[in-house]
Structure 1
């Protein structure tokens, strides 16, 4: 018998070590696990030819999850999941084309380990909306305050260095969510490589290369501890007679196919889905969007609901709370107060349907997902951003707020102008300047300040106010909110004037004043006489937040 050569022995050990390292490779819990597959067949148009390709995952505790896979070009298929348990997982594929041996009845296992990241999305888990609640939480119940920035074109246009700079600044400044567009749309006709997401306006073709470019941008959002909020179907109606937004011009079936493709592709990331963007979802469009919502996130196609919280983003000065009150797939009733500081816009936030109807409808998170943008016009200042932000979070059960700037959402650089929008010229800030604007920073202050409170228990309490200054002058509206137990009260004063609140039991409160410009908190004093509490802001300052605690 011949003695094996040293070279053969070394090769054997290399092979064994390789197998062992592969077998014991582990995915940290709450991070994306990806499994690739090779189809045994070519398809002319895979999203139509393969009606279903899904993977049944079984967790260590025996729970099962059915997750849709997706086509990634040529014969490549993938599935992605964010596992929520540590231990050994198993999976098995199912394909509607049962003769495809590469996609049907494949089986495997993988290991999930504890996560060492310090980011909340990896320590506390994915974002959910507990049944019957007005706010969002992580999977373990930790409250999640939505502080979003609208970087609509950021994923399409930014370089890798730009995207890193932007995300690092947003994370450092206290933001938690990044809203962005996932396809060509009115404000962005292609990505930085000149690619489009889909071709066709009837029967469509997916461009995997476009989405492979997008993958890196979405992964980066999570890498910085932020939640990705992709708009799946931008739905703004025609612009100058042209149909530019897929959510508007695609037939219903194709809109569902496209959205389901993206949900499958990014379901393994930490995401909150925004089904439509800037659209009309009522009147003649109501049934269309209810059908799309049910088709993507319901069980219209016999599939389990995909993981993730779902929002809808309506056009300016509108909301859909009453019309979509009984749609089980909708978790966030998004609204848009508009890009101006007119009395109409102010009254929409302070006295409109959100303030009037929130307690008359099934509980959902209510979030102003596009208030006035900084630098929309020369007369829009940081005070207008603060007004809209604090009014929005206190005139409904507190859940969160979104920030935007006119040079940021289109990702403008020097010498560029906004596509298919009125020109603003070179006078406004570019994207990298916009993230440093006063209002941009002050929304971050708001987020950090609110997180010091039991904000998830705050509900509007306008009846506590003795007199409402906003009845005489719209932008002087004072918002008042208090926790369910009555132990904490928060009021926003858009002007530096005293506030009077009913206090019939003459309860003793401690007071703090928060300056939303300087990001500083100072102790205050209150006086109670004949059942009325009076508090006077410190000298100086434009607007103030008052916190009273029993």
Structure 2
């Protein structure tokens, strides 16, 4: 049996000066098994950006520009890939280095991974966790796109998992994301490959610094990672990809995972990207707009997700004018950092963290309207005790609410603008009734609102 070089390659860990903005990590799972905390037990709302090509296409100065911007916008997680998607094995990184030294892809290149080390450390100094994918899925098999080559067998996956797991075992700002936009094929060894890679990482874990782990799938039904790995001990929380078509009932996937046993947190790790061709058909359908992205985010979180990932079509691929774009990016990555929703994600995070975090549950019984599952779908969440509720209207309008479950004898309301983060009073008290009619401040596409209801006694 062949011995793989990366099982025995001794790689020194690179230590960096601790920053003033020290992360209280690694992220942990709260005792209710629904949400995340930091290492100090404080609420952690996952607000991630998708930057798959971060380590591959950006040099350190560019990475610093990117991380500074995302930190200023309120992101606390960045999802990126070690063995990247866009010909990540054969096309060198921004420094001219490939991830392996040999044509059999068994001996890691220290210079390549030192670059990864430095960016992970830069992220930590900015209060950002890295959701690290060891590899993109086309290194396991190709499915209509991706250039491979296919290098992972179960044995190689385990060995690489051990090597990369050991290298980053002491990082406090790391979450492992197994997979990479590929669903295991029925009747194949794919499930075993991913399980072996996860096992390799798990066996290197420092018990005092346990890093969480999940799986990044393609769009699939009825769940995402839960379809194959929910019962695996290594899978700490579930992840979905809800795809790049607007108006999909993404909240159904969150609800599916919340019904499973054992209880695990769940979130959407790849929703529709901002400025992405709708359903990959820009000619007929155009590109996604901010309202499409906000609707997905609020739907998912109000359905009980532990947080939400965001993505920009130019940024995930770090597109620039000297590179071939994938699926028609509209402008370079550095000019796409300030898109509308990228500056609005903090409003969702701030809203959720403004209320009791760990007791929040979805509750559609608050909506007394008869609803269709279309882009007008109204979603609701509250805390278990009923001291507050929040209702999201994707396009404003009139709604009927059943407020009998809320506590206290007096209820007050306020409107929250997802576009600006500004709130203002509803202007009247609310009755604890089965059919309370409320009209939003404005109506129509792009006029989404959150109604916040509080018990005042």
Query: TM class, shorter-chain normalised?
Result: 0.7 to 0.9
2:120 alignment partner in structure 1: 218
SS of 2:431's equivalent in the other structure is strand
Counterparts of 2:14 and 2:166, CA distance in 1: 7
After the TM superposition, which residues 310-325 of structure 1 pair with which residues of structure 2 at under 5 Å, given as runs?
Answer: 310-318=213-221, 319-325=224-230
Q: Which has the higher contact order (CA 8 A, sep 6+)?
A: 2
TM-superposed CA distance for 1:289, in Å, is: 4.5
Superposed CA RMSD in Å reads: 2.9
1:412 alignment partner in structure 2: 319
TM-superposed CA distance for 1:212, in Å, is: 1.2
SS of 1:185's equivalent in the other structure is coil
1:442 partnered with 2:349: no
Counterparts of 1:132 and 1:47, CA distance in 2: 39
1:542 alignment partner in structure 2: 447
| 2:434 aligned to which of 512, 531, 535 | 531
Contact 1:476 1:493 in 2 (8 A): yes
Counterparts of 1:302 and 1:453, CA distance in 2: 34
Distance 1:527 1:290, change over 3 A: same
Distance 1:364 1:175, change over 3 A: same
Counterparts of 1:279 and 1:215, CA distance in 2: 26
Larger proportion of strand: 1
1:336 alignment partner in structure 2: 241
| 2:174 aligned to which of 271, 278, 282 | 271
2:381 alignment partner in structure 1: 481
TM-superposed CA distance for 1:317, in Å, is: 4.0
Instruction: In structure 2, list runs of 5 or more residues that go unmatched.
Output: 278-285
2:283 alignment partner in structure 1: none
2:282 alignment partner in structure 1: none
After the TM superposition, which residues 3-152 of structure 1 pair with which residues of structure 2 at under 5 Å, given as runs?
Answer: 46-48=5-7, 50=8, 71-72=10-11, 78=12, 117-119=20-22, 121=23, 124-152=24-52
After the TM superposition, which residues 486-501 of structure 1 pair with which residues of structure 2 at under 5 Å, given as runs?
Answer: 486-501=386-401
Distance 1:126 1:374, change over 3 A: same
TM-superposed CA distance for 1:184, in Å, is: 3.8
TM-superposed CA distance for 1:380, in Å, is: 0.8
TM-superposed CA distance for 1:393, in Å, is: 0.9
1:296 alignment partner in structure 2: 200
Contact 1:271 1:308 in 2 (8 A): yes
Q: Which deviates the most, 216-225 or 154-163? A: 154-163
Counterparts of 1:259 and 1:280, CA distance in 2: 19
Map Cα deviations across residues 249-287 of structure 1 (whole Å, 9 max, x no partner): 411111121122222212222111111111213633564
Counterparts of 1:415 and 1:293, CA distance in 2: 35
Counterparts of 1:321 and 1:477, CA distance in 2: 25
Map Cα deviations across residues 195-248 of structure 1 (whole Å, 9 max, x no partner): 221356867221112101211111111111111111112114415687516xx6
| 1:466 aligned to which of 368, 392, 405 | 368
Counterparts of 2:332 and 2:105, CA distance in 1: 38
Counterparts of 1:405 and 1:210, CA distance in 2: 25
SS of 1:477's equivalent in the other structure is coil
> How many corresponding residue pairs?
432
Contact 1:46 1:71 in 2 (8 A): no
1:185 partnered with 2:124: no
Counterparts of 2:92 and 2:19, CA distance in 1: 37
Counterparts of 2:415 and 2:205, CA distance in 1: 54
Q: Which deviates the most, 379-388 or 318-327? A: 318-327
Contact 1:526 1:535 in 2 (8 A): no
Map Cα deviations across residues 175-212 of structure 1 (whole Å, 9 max, x no partner): 10011111143464431123221356867221112101
1:368 partnered with 2:268: yes
Counterparts of 2:220 and 2:75, CA distance in 1: 24
Counterparts of 2:451 and 2:14, CA distance in 1: 46
1:29 alignment partner in structure 2: none
Q: State the TM-score, normalizing by the size of structure 2.
A: 0.86
Counterparts of 1:387 and 1:468, CA distance in 2: 19
SS of 1:204's equivalent in the other structure is coil
1:106 alignment partner in structure 2: none
Larger Rg: 1
Instruction: In structure 1, list runs of 5 or more residues that go unmatched.
Output: 1-43, 51-69, 73-77, 83-112
Contact 1:148 1:402 in 2 (8 A): yes
Distance 1:199 1:365, change over 3 A: farther
Q: Which deviates the most, 503-512 or 327-336? A: 503-512
Contact 1:297 1:329 in 2 (8 A): no
| 1:385 aligned to which of 284, 293, 296 | 293
Counterparts of 2:270 and 2:145, CA distance in 1: 25
Distance 1:200 1:488, change over 3 A: farther
Counterparts of 2:5 and 2:179, CA distance in 1: 24
Counterparts of 2:195 and 2:214, CA distance in 1: 15
1:283 alignment partner in structure 2: 186
Counterparts of 2:58 and 2:146, CA distance in 1: 26
